Structures are given as structure tokens and as C-alpha cells.
Structure 1
Amino acid sequence: MVIFSTLYYAEQDTVLPDPEILLDKVHNQSKKVVIFPRNFHLKNDKLIGYYTGILDQELSPDDIIFKNRFNHKLQGVSYRPTTIEVFKSSEDPQCENRSSNLNIEVSQPFNKNANLYKILTKFKEDNSDYYKEMKIFFPNLEHELNTGIIQKHWFQLIGSSVWLQQYGVHLMINRVFYTKTGDKVKPNMSLAYVRIFDRNWQELENVDLIVPDESESFKVISYPNFLPIPVYHSVKQQDGRFYGIEDPRIMLIKNNERYEEPVIVFNSHNRKISRIASYKDTKSTIHLKPYRSMFIGWLWRSQKGKSNIDDIPSRVTSNSNYVKVKELKLPKNERFKKEKNWTPFLNYQQQLDNGYDVDLYLVYQFEDLKILKCSLLNDKSECTWEYQLVEESSPKINKLRGGTELVNVNQILAKSKFRELRRIKNQMAQDKQIWIGFARAVLKDCGCGVKMYRPNMVVLIKEEGTYRVSHVSSYADLEVPILPWNQNRNMCEGKNLLIPNGISSWNFAKDEFGTLQDYMTLSLSRADSTIDIIHIKGILISILDEEHLSVDVATTKNDNNIKCAIKKSQDYCVAYGKDNYDKSINSLAAELKQHMDDIGSQL
């Protein structure tokens, strides 16, 4: 067999091309790219043989195969200053005494929407087992493709992503959903679409990652693709069901094999047996109840069938291959009709102590703080309460809800070796852990539309075994232009949404003036129809000064800072609605004047 593929490697006297030249070659040729992990055990000149022989894969002329040597790269973008108002945890009841401003810088948003026509055409043409299972929910897909009306029934949002250091790429998960009526609030089926971007945030459209499998060898996973997530569905019962995967959030965990792997946390409609009624020992009637439940999925692992997510699984799918998932349940198997908006995070100290992540932690609710701990090491679905501010209180739905994951600040600091960070590291107590992320306050009929969402930055601290939301911001639009819920309509008709989805990366680096800064990439969705990223500079530097580290976690046991943030967010909504109303009136007045002038000129 003759292999015409291009192998890039660096052995002794051989010089590898500049990384940017290699990336240009990848994009210009539109060929397959095969990426082995940075720490792969074989030398570079053995990669083709391993790929075509051991993994039994094919290569075409000019396909590119290499062992990763790309590092994360800061984006050369322009920034502009803005502020975030934060409220500190304190016993002081006055909001103004808790308030301070964080001075940060933000870039413009960069849209990363996929080409729906292209990806749905490929989904249909590939005709995978997963497509065959799901196509009954969108039977008119071929007609929609042929007539160019995809945009009326298919939408995309959420761009949660992680940087895969071993592969030198960003891995992003999107939600793509179909609505028969064209109404975005009535999806029939939601799918998970996974994509790869290079370090310059350019999409790679034909990639094979060589990833570890569960048998201590390696396997090929191809991107982009629609993830075969096992979900319950019934085409005969669609009203109000919203089948499929919703609100996927991707994270990297370090597993007990000591390598990083991506997992997603999501919610999905399912059903559970509520009771079984027997009649004269001859027959039984099974009663089922619908629920919306939380799940975790391991993107590089697989399972057969759906027996772990459906109490009465179909025989038709019993041998189908899916992404491995498990349900995340409340303690004592307590179950409510709808579970969503849990905020995931990891305990970096636990990873240091064990060498890997043992548990996944989730903020169940920010107000009356409740935190769950769920095992990553077994198939046990029942979680335990890691912390409850008020133990006897029942879980409840509050206005401040989940958005992004929470990122462990201790881990960011530990990986950064800059001398300027020594003071901050030395200042932090040995047992203190800090997490930062973005929640979202859900405000209904607050002055603009039926619902308004904006990001609210939150800081979670653990010290001496106690957790506290130490800081929470009011609405932070991050200077992102908002889109109307429906095209060519008023901004305050329908919903007015800017939703934070994930923190793609967060690193320290020197800016052009030699000053140490932290750089975050945040993914957002606007109007439930975009996948955007923005770059933010200076959040961590601003929050980690002496003033902001001085919260007394042990003695402050109230949610007054959250209440202040919600109140200020409501003020934002009222002001936004008034400003939009004034602009609408001025626009109508201008149109009327122009119309009258046109009439006058004709007389």
C-alpha cells in the first residue's frame, strides 16, 4: 500500500514547519487532519503505520497527520474598557456599602455559528444509526434543504468549549434544535453538535483525534459530528416534551487513568416508573411519569442501548452505540418534575490529593446555597449534599440560575509561574479555594419583553469547610450588542436574551506593555440563535486584590449580596426598556416627519 499523506515530524536534524504555516496548509487544502496527543508513546515516524495499521484507518493524498506541538494562543484582538458592578458578601444591609466596580476590558463578539445547511445535509447523507433513530422527528428535512427554508425550522445556540492541551485545539459543543412550527420556544428535538477549532479559532472541518480508550489503547474520534446521546423520546407524544439534549456544558476532568477527557453536563426529558398496579396476580399496569432530569456524559466513552436512562427501554435501540451517560439524582433519590440549571465545578485540591478528579460538584442553587457532590468513578447516580446553607430548607427555583461552569482560580494560579502572582498566592489561606463563573438572573416582565437574561458574575469561596457566594454582579452585558427575539421586530418584543454558556479558556500573560493580565474567552448566545465568543481581559487581576479577598466566609450567612445584584439587574431592565421605548418613539417620529415631508414635496 502506498501512502501519499503528509507526515510532519521533528526527529534530530529534521525541522518542523512553523505552526502557522502548517495551519494555513490545513485550511487551504481542506483535507483530513489526524492529530495524535502531545504525549503519544510512539515516535513521529511511526504515526502513519499506527494509524493505518493498528487503527485500520485510511489516508488520502495530502492528508495531514502529526503529533501535536501547538500551544494555546492569545488572540490579537482590540479591547475596550467597561465595568462590572459587584456586591460583596457582608452583614451590612445597605447595597451601596457592598458595591464596588471591577474595571475590565472586552473585545467585540465573534460569531461561530455553523452552516446549518451544510451540517444537516451531511447528517442526512451519512445516514448514521443515530440519524435513522432521530429523523422521524424532522421528516421534512429533505424538503427544507431543497427549498432553502432551513432557517425557519432549525436553530443553533450554546458554544460551550474547552482547550485540549494534548491536541492543541478547542473542542466545542453546540445545541442544534428543530421546531416544526418555527417557534423557538417549542423545539421538537434538540441535538448535540461537536466541532473542532484550531488555536486561532478557525474551524477544522475534517479532523480525527487519536484519543485513549477504556482498554488502555487508543481509538479514533472524528469531528465535526452529531453526538449520539441516548435520550428518551416518543414521536406520538411531542406536546411540551422538548426531547433531546438541552443546555450542554462541557468541562475537562482528569480521570483515574491520569489523562484529561471532556464531559458534558446537560438536562433531558425522560420518564420514570411511578408505580406498578397488579391485578389478581395475572397482570400488572405500569404507571409512568415524565421528568426533566440532569445527566453527565463522557464524550470519549460509549455504551450499548439506553437501559440506564429509560425504565422501559426499546428493544430497537438495545444494540445501538451511544455516548456513555448517567443520570445525576438528588440525595435519597428525591425527584422533582423539572431539574435544570445546575452549575458544575471541580475541586482542585481533591485532584491534587488523589492525582485525579473523584467527584463532580454542582451548585444546585445560589440563593440559600446548596451544592451537590456526584461521583465520577462509578455508575452510581445518587449524589450527596456537599453543602447546604440551611439544611432543612427544600430546594427551590430562584431568579439567579446556572450559566457557565465555575473555574477554579487556585488551579489557574498554580499553572502560572509569573513572579507578580507570588503576593496573591502567599496571601491566600492554605485551605481556601475560589471559583469564578457567570450565572444568569432570569427576570420576567421587568420592563423589556416577557423575559430578560444577562450574565451575572459570581465568586464562590470555600474556607474551613464552609462555602459562600462571596461576590455577585448585577447584569453585565459586556458591551455585546443584543439581537431582537424575532428579526425586524422591536427589541422588547418576546424575549431579550444574552446567555453565558461556558468559559473556554483562562490564562495569565503579559500584554504589549509588559503588564501581567489575565485573559478569558467566554461563549455566549444571543436571542437563542447565535454561538458567539468574546475575549475579556483583567477580571482575575481585579477580583484578586486584597479588598476582594477579605470576605469573612465563616460569619457571613446571608444572601444579601445576591438580593442586591437582582435588584440592580431589575433596575438595568427598567432602564433598558425605557431607552428602547424612547428610541422607538424617536424612530417613529422621524419616519412620520419624512412621510409628511414627502407628501409636502408632492403638493
Structure 2
Amino acid sequence: MVKSGTMVAWLLHPSPRIRKSIIISALVIIALVLSATQMLNRSFEPVYHPLDIKDEARSLLEKLYQAHRGSDAEMKDADTATDTDTNANVNGKGTPQTTSVPPDPENPYLSNTVLNVQYRPIDVQGFLGMMPFDPKKNYYKDQFCPDLLYKSSDSKRIMENSKARLLPDDLEGLNEYLRKTGYGSLFSRKHNDFSPDADLSEVDFTSYPDWFRFTGSSVWLPDEKVHLMASRLLYAPAKYPLMSFIRLQIFDADWNEIKGRRLLYVDAPEHDIKEAMGNYTRSHNEEDLDSVSIKFPGILDIDLDEESREFLLGPEDPRIVYNDVSGIPEPVIIFNQDANGGRAMYLTFPLERTPRGMKKPTLKLRTALMGDGTYEKNWTPFFDTLDPKPEANMRGSMYVMYDINPLRVYKCSLDSGECFIVQQEGAKAPNPRGDKLTSIRGGTSLIPIPRYVVQRLLRRDGILDSDYPLQMWLGFVKTHINDCGCGHMFYRPHLMVMVKQEHSFRVDLLSDSMDFGKDVMSFDDHSSVYCDDGNNVLNPNEIAFWDISYERPNEDSVFDLESKLLPYYDDYLALTISEADENVQVIFLKNVLNYIIGAYKHGTLVLGKKDVGREVRERTKKVESCVLKAASRYCEIYSLTHKRPPPETID
């Protein structure tokens, strides 16, 4: 037993070893107390994230919009989208199917307008570029088009489409823009009753005829939960193009236009947002918000380059894509415009801030070998999600399909505009109609097929590496055929699947002409669908969204992710289209992915080394050749069913 005096001495004069242990224990206890205190404080004090101020700003902008909606009549006017009559179901036969599906709260764009409408089967065939073939033979020379034909016999792999839904525009804000910029004075060049010295504030430009809006391209903005649309607004008196602008609008999940709403600029600093919000709270002057937000609808105020050309001024064929591979996701608009006596491709970023008093900056796209005076258009943009992430504060790169016949791909910097060639080799597929124009051109952007779907198809081919360098995209291209029997010019959409295996791009699937069951209005007489009344033009503009579920169980087997059976998915796609360069419509499709996957029952996703090399060019060339022939034949058949009937004779 230890005596009390000894115990006191031990406590007052511990050995060095004991002293060290006591100090360490005390420090540990202090650290634990501080940690607990900090955790307790976190329970009662809010943690501010970088997005909080932006969320607060979005809430303010939404309240401002709701306050300005006005009367019930104005609210009704905002709901302007209407269904168009597709008349006879020319190319898609079958009984319309009506579903009743609740909207998806996680994906608001899957609204009742999309889910609970009638869908009709699409009767369309395609041509395949990945079918197994004797390696000793040539895919282009030794294959026949009927051998490459794909038409799904599985009812669950047949695409379906809704009726087209018209998206009109009353040109709100156009007068203000033309007066503010002075572009309204250009009317004096074409109107004798319009004086060059006229007071622009007294002119109602929207009352003049011959305004045309088409090429409407749209993307979904996940943070703002709206569809952002960029379309071409053309003024062409007596069919002579004079001015062209990029029109900006936003739509809700049911495709009703939202007027008077503001969207926050993606690059607005938090300090500026706080300052603008504070200024507006005190003044209630909306101009205080101009530095951090953009109001819709409106005109994209870019430089029209008046020195380059007297007629036509302005951008053409806008395409809008969503860049979600950079540090700051944002929409990108690609368009063509006059430059140095030719026509060049440009980029602009509609949700980036514009310096006060200046035009919206644009970025010219060019390669080192591209000289002045070239005529560029119909570039097809897309992103590769397998590319490395760009450095901080950099936008990264965007790919463009420069041409499909032959398949040429560029990679362009979104920061400098410089492009370099990724793939250019290949021979052009011959024109099946000799010297009569028959070509395949760009249409929509290309949308990546989700990685989990690609990995599932790779596993079916025995590839277990989740990072295997193979990527797939979906898009819609168009054929332009002259003098095929229906007007002078004939345009139709075609579904396309492009694949990149290692460093080689190819076309695995290209469909025949698609009309979605529409009798297309004639170019010269919009009340007519007859080929006798001018060009017959149906253009694909953009894939507004493509929603794909996870794999659903196969009814014929136990659910197995490693199954060799081709998987099924539920998917919905929104495609914007234009008829006769006259309007903008949206159409909804189902089973697009199932249709695509069904094609791989007849082929393989992973090609051998020989095919990935030189032979892949022959495969793509053959597919293009078959589609050109089929499109010409489609036009001939369509013209026979759309001729004006002879006048009735009276005995």
C-alpha cells in the first residue's frame, strides 16, 4: 500500500515519462472539446455555399417575373403553344397510343405535355455500318444496300412520335431593339414609304410583312428549369433577304413561352450580384439588374458586320448546345455569318455578361489552313464526355462534324476559336443522280448516348473495362436533293448514330428520310402541301432534351447487367423542326434508344483493328451511298402522293 506522502510527492514531482503522458492527454482532451464545440456551432449556424447567393438571386428574379405577369389576359397570352394538324399519317402508320404517366419531379421537362400525348409508330428503315463482313472483301464495293438494311421487327424497338406542336412568336421586344441599335434605318433601303430621316420611335417594325422565324434550336437549362431557344429571325421583303437576327426566347416545361423573365448570367461574380440585388431592392428599377441578368424575349445583340456586305446583314442558322464538360456549364450558340467576302462560323455565349455599351462578343472558328473568303456553314457541334476536364476558368473544347460525306471532324477551342483536324481522310460517296445535287448535311448537334448505356453494350461485346475508349452520339442530319419530283429543293431529316472507337469516327446507323407523319407545307404557298407549289423543306433544328431511364428488366430472362441480351430503356426525346423556313415546332419521340440498340442485333459495337483503321472509311462511305439512293427514292414516292389533283371537269 502506498503512503499518502509518497502519493503527493509523485503527483507534485512526476517523472519525465509521466509528465509527457499527462501533457499529451491534456492536449487530446482540449482538441476533442474544441472539435465538439465547432460541431455544435455548425448545428446552429448556417453554412454558406457559393451557389447560395445565385439561388437567392434566381428567387428574386422569379418573384419579379411573377409580379410583372399582369392580368389574366396576359397570362393566357403567354400560353401560346398549339398543336398543329399533321393531316394524313404519310410515313408513320398505326393507331395513336395515349399514355397516362405522372410528371417526373427530378426532370421537370418530362411534363404532362410530353408524357400524356398520343404517339404514333414511325415506319422507318436504316442502313448499318457495323455489320460483320468477310475481312478479305471491301465493305463498300462488295456489299449491296439491301444487305445493310435495318428495320425493327420488335414492337418495343419501334420509334414513336407525337404531333408537332407550334411555337409561335409575336416579336415582342423587336421594335425596341431596332430603334435602340439603329438597325431599323435599314428599312429605308427597301421601302419607298420609309424615309431615312424617319423618327424610329414612331415606326412599328413588326407591322411590316415578310418577317420569318425558323431554325429554332433549343436546350434545357437545369439550373433555371426552362428551355432556352435561339431561332433565326429574317426580314425578307418580296423574298429578298435583308436582315437576319438571332431571336432568344425561353419556354416552360410545357412549352409555353415565358415573357418578362430574367436569367442570371453564369459568369456574374457574387459581389456584383449582391450589389445589383441591393440596388434593385432600393430603386425597383430593372436596369439595375442588367449587369447580372438577361431579360427574355429578346434579340442577341452581336455585331452584324455591316462593312462586310450590304445584303444580307446578320447571322444565319443558329444552333444552341449545352456545354456541361467545362467548369461552368452554359449554353453555346454556333452560327454562320458574312466575313471577308465569304462566310465563316462563329460562337457566342448568350448567358455570359456583355460589357456595358458593347455588342455581345463572338468567337470566329477557323483552322490554320482555312483562308479568307471560304464559305462555311452546316457545322455540327458535339462534346466528348471522355475528354479530360479543362483547366480552371477555361471553357474547354468542342468538336464539330465538318462534313458527313466524307466524314470529317474538327476539334475547336471555346477560348480561342482555333480548330485542328481530328479526322479528314475518306472518299466522298458518289452522287447516285449524276450532276443533280444530292447531299447529306448537318442538322442538329450530336448528343452523347449515356455512358452507362455504352458500358452495357460493351459488356455484351466482352469489354469489361469501364474506361474503354468508345463513345456514341445521336443526331439528326438532313438530305438536300434538287429536282427529284417535289419542288426544286427537297429537304428531310435522317437519324444518325456516330461512334468513336479509339481515335476513329464512323457512322453505325443512318436512317432513311423521316417526315414524322407530316404532309409538309409548300415553300411558295403555305396553305398547300402539294409538290407543285414550290420547294418542300422539313429541317431538323435541335434535340431539346433526351431523357433515358436505367435499364428495365427483360421479360424473357432474369434481370442481369451482364446479360448478352440487348437491353431495353424508357426514353423521351424532344426535337425542334421547321417547315418551309416559315415556323418553329417541337415534336416528341419515344423508343429512340431502343430502336438504336436493336440495330446491334445485326452487328457489333466493337470493331476489329483492321476495321477501326482504313476499312472504317469504306463502311461509312457505303452507308452514306445507300442513304442518298434511298432519299432520292423517297422523294420520288412522296411526289407521286402529293401532286395537285386535276381540276374537275363538268360535262
Give the TM-score normalised by structure 2.
0.68
Structure 2 letter corresponding to 1:458? M
> Is 1:449 paired with 2:487?
yes
- Tell me the distance in 2 between the aligned counterparts of 1:336 and 1:427: 49
> Is 1:96 paired with 2:146?
yes
Residues 363-402 of structure 1, C-alpha deviations (whole Å, 9 max, x = no match): 11111211111001x2x33310011224999xxx971111
Tell me if the contact between 1:443 and 1:453 (Cα under 8 Å) persists in the aligned partners: yes
Question: Structure 1's 399 and 391: CA in aligned 2 closer, same or farther, altered over 3 A?
Answer: closer
2:320 to 241, 250, 254: 250
- Tell me the distance in 2 between the aligned counterparts of 1:86 and 1:51: 47
1:179 to 212, 236, 241: 236
- Tell me the distance in 2 between the aligned counterparts of 1:350 and 1:425: 19
Give the CA RMSD over aligned residues.
3.7
Shift of 1:423: 3.9
1:492 to 510, 532, 551: 532
Question: Structure 1's 145 and 475: CA in aligned 2 closer, same or farther, altered over 3 A?
Answer: farther
Shift of 1:149: 5.8
Q: What residue is the counterpart of 1:268 in the other structure?
A: 337
2:254 to 200, 218, 228: 200
> Is 1:327 paired with 2:327?
no
Question: Structure 1's 242 and 234: CA in aligned 2 closer, same or farther, altered over 3 A?
Answer: same
Q: Which moved more, 1:534-543 or 1:550-559?
A: 550-559
Q: What residue is the counterpart of 2:622 in the other structure?
A: 560
- Tell me the distance in 2 between the aligned counterparts of 1:407 and 1:126: 33
- Tell me the distance in 1 between the aligned counterparts of 2:456 and 2:428: 40
> Is 1:404 paired with 2:415?
no
Shift of 1:523: 0.5
1:576 to 638, 641, 648: 638
- Tell me the distance in 2 between the aligned counterparts of 1:39 and 1:215: 10
Structure 2 letter corresponding to 1:227? L
Which of the pair has the greater relative contact order for Cα pairs under 8 Å at 6+ separation?
2
Tell me if the contact between 2:426 and 2:617 (Cα under 8 Å) persists in the aligned partners: no
Question: Structure 1's 352 and 409: CA in aligned 2 closer, same or farther, altered over 3 A?
Answer: farther
- For 1:107-126, what aligned pairs fall within 5 Å after superposition? 107-116=162-171, 119=172, 122-125=173-176
Structure 1 unaligned segments of length 5 or more: list them: 1-37, 272-289, 305-318, 415-420, 597-603
Residues 422-479 of structure 1, C-alpha deviations (whole Å, 9 max, x = no match): 8446347521100110111110111111100000111111002111122211211121
Larger radius of gyration: 2
- Tell me the distance in 2 between the aligned counterparts of 1:144 and 1:576: 48
Tell me if the contact between 2:493 and 2:513 (Cα under 8 Å) persists in the aligned partners: yes
1:209 to 229, 249, 263: 263
Shift of 1:493: 2.9
Shift of 1:82: 1.3
Tell me if the contact between 1:267 and 1:340 (Cα under 8 Å) persists in the aligned partners: yes
Question: Structure 1's 422 and 375: CA in aligned 2 closer, same or farther, altered over 3 A?
Answer: closer
2:512 to 474, 487, 492: 474
In structure 2, the residue corresponding to 1:187 is in which secondary structure?
coil
Residues 324-362 of structure 1, C-alpha deviations (whole Å, 9 max, x = no match): 211111333334531100111101111568798621101
Question: Structure 1's 492 and 360: CA in aligned 2 closer, same or farther, altered over 3 A?
Answer: farther
Residues 224-278 of structure 1, C-alpha deviations (whole Å, 9 max, x = no match): 111102221259x63xx4221111000111364x23111101001122xxxxxxx
- Tell me the distance in 2 between the aligned counterparts of 1:79 and 1:49: 36
Tell me if the contact between 2:61 and 2:262 (Cα under 8 Å) persists in the aligned partners: no
Structure 2 letter corresponding to 1:244? G
Question: Structure 1's 107 and 135: CA in aligned 2 closer, same or farther, altered over 3 A?
Answer: farther
Structure 2 letter corresponding to 1:550? T
> Is 1:381 paired with 2:417?
yes
Question: Structure 1's 202 and 510: CA in aligned 2 closer, same or farther, altered over 3 A?
Answer: farther
Structure 1 letter corresponding to 2:315? I
Q: What residue is the counterpart of 1:292 in the other structure?
A: 343
- For 1:215-226, what aligned pairs fall within 5 Å after superposition? 215=269, 218=273, 219-226=292-299
Question: Structure 1's 50 and 177: CA in aligned 2 closer, same or farther, altered over 3 A?
Answer: closer
Tell me if the contact between 2:128 and 2:623 (Cα under 8 Å) persists in the aligned partners: yes
Q: What residue is the counterpart of 2:386 in the other structure?
A: 349
In structure 2, the residue corresponding to 1:83 is in which secondary structure?
coil
Q: What residue is the counterpart of 1:281 in the other structure?
A: none
Tell me if the contact between 1:179 and 1:187 (Cα under 8 Å) persists in the aligned partners: yes
In structure 1, the residue corresponding to 2:234 is in which secondary structure?
strand
> Is 1:541 paired with 2:591?
no
Question: Structure 1's 147 and 588: CA in aligned 2 closer, same or farther, altered over 3 A?
Answer: farther
- For 1:389-538, what aligned pairs fall within 5 Å after superposition? 389-390=425-426, 399-410=439-450, 413=452, 423-424=456-457, 426-427=459-460, 430-487=468-525, 488=527, 490-509=530-549, 516-538=569-591
Tell me if the contact between 1:346 and 1:357 (Cα under 8 Å) persists in the aligned partners: no
Matched residues, percent identical? 26
In structure 1, the residue corresponding to 2:531 is in which secondary structure?
coil
Structure 2 letter corresponding to 1:374? C
Residues 525-564 of structure 1, C-alpha deviations (whole Å, 9 max, x = no match): 0010010110010111121244266153513322011010
> Is 1:153 paired with 2:207?
no
Q: What residue is the counterpart of 1:167 in the other structure?
A: 224
Question: Structure 1's 50 and 519: CA in aligned 2 closer, same or farther, altered over 3 A?
Answer: closer
Question: Structure 1's 409 and 228: CA in aligned 2 closer, same or farther, altered over 3 A?
Answer: same
In structure 2, the residue corresponding to 1:486 is in which secondary structure?
coil
1:71 to 108, 111, 119: 108
Structure 2 letter corresponding to 1:107? S
In structure 2, the residue corresponding to 1:557 is in which secondary structure?
helix
In structure 1, the residue corresponding to 2:641 is in which secondary structure?
helix
Give the TM-score normalised by structure 1.
0.73
2:180 to 123, 129, 138: 129
Tell me if the contact between 1:87 and 1:95 (Cα under 8 Å) persists in the aligned partners: yes
Question: Structure 1's 43 and 410: CA in aligned 2 closer, same or farther, altered over 3 A?
Answer: closer
Residues 552-600 of structure 1, C-alpha deviations (whole Å, 9 max, x = no match): 351332201101001000001111112223xx2xx324x32xx44xxxx
Question: Structure 1's 134 and 550: CA in aligned 2 closer, same or farther, altered over 3 A?
Answer: farther
Shift of 1:194: 0.6
Of Structure 1 and Structure 2, the greater strand share is in 1
Structure 1 letter corresponding to 2:633? D
Question: Structure 1's 577 and 41: CA in aligned 2 closer, same or farther, altered over 3 A?
Answer: same
Question: Structure 1's 449 and 101: CA in aligned 2 closer, same or farther, altered over 3 A?
Answer: same
Residues 152-174 of structure 1, C-alpha deviations (whole Å, 9 max, x = no match): 41111012000001111110111
Structure 2 unaligned segments of length 5 or more: list them: 1-48, 71-104, 131-138, 153-157, 195-199, 274-291, 430-436, 556-567
Shift of 1:196: 0.8
In structure 2, the residue corresponding to 1:399 is in which secondary structure?
strand
Question: Structure 1's 300 and 149: CA in aligned 2 closer, same or farther, altered over 3 A?
Answer: closer
Structure 1 letter corresponding to 2:314? G
- Tell me the distance in 2 between the aligned counterparts of 1:49 and 1:167: 10
Q: What residue is the counterpart of 1:277 in the other structure?
A: none
